Amino acid sequence: MGRQLRVQRPPIRNISDLRDRCLKVWYNLSPVIYQGLMASMPRRVEAVLRAKVQTETKAHTPVTTIHESQLARWEVAQLLLGVNVCIR
């Protein structure tokens, strides 16, 4: 999205112009972009949780784990968005 905004002409002049162009780019994104983003979310969430676990372990606080209920929420989101993603 940022790349698409940077190459647009004429240059963005103000906040209102930026908002309008952001919305235009957002609404014209390909469904493939959304599918890729959805497919990457479990990996991204896992990376965040691992970083949190490492931080909490160093601070001697309880470790956070991914629970089945959290994975179930991802599966529901996938169904609602119509994206087939394998969660490991």
DSSP states along 4-70: HHHH-SSPP-SHHHHHHHHHHHHHT--HHHHHHHHHHHHHHHHHHHHHHHHHHHHTT-PPP---HHH
pLDDT at 84: 53
**Lowest-confidence region among 2-6, 9-13, 15-19:** 2-6
Tens of pLDDT along 64-75? 455 555 666 666
Tens of pLDDT along 33-65? 878 888 888 888 888 888 877 776 665 555 445
